[in-house]
Amino acid sequence: MKKIVNLISFSFGLSFIALIIIVFDSFGSENANLLLGFNPILKLFIGENYSLIVVEKLQLKEPSSIYIHYSLLAYLIHFASFVLLGLLIDVIKFSFQKPNRIS
């Protein structure tokens, strides 16, 4: 049981942080909107031709606004990227741990 808890520690923590950021952004917190802007995968989508999918149509009416109105797909991408990053960190951490030997 302890191995399972150790394996999911970073993935659980980062997914919890991602959910908090998404909830705060959906309630209109500007600080959470800035934290969503630091996600490099979302920046990739906004910089490419996929910005109409990730950004809501309300953003097109306010192009000079610093506040970006993200769509549900952007929140899903943000959450998935945090979960994948957490799993990657957990796998790397797990590969460097020495196995417990019972003598």
CA 79 vs CA 1, 57, 88, 100: distances in Å:
26, 21, 14, 33
* pLDDT on residue 79: 92
pTM: 0.72
Contacts of 71 (CB under 8 A, 6+ apart): 53, 54, 55, 56
Distance, CA of 87 to CA of 61 (rounded, Å): 38
Q: What band does 8 get if pLDDT is binned at 50, 70 and 90?
A: low
Q: What band does 41 get if pLDDT is binned at 50, 70 and 90?
A: confident
Distance, CA of 30 to CA of 27 (rounded, Å): 9
Among residues 66, 67, 81, the alpha carbon closest in space to that of 27 is found at 67
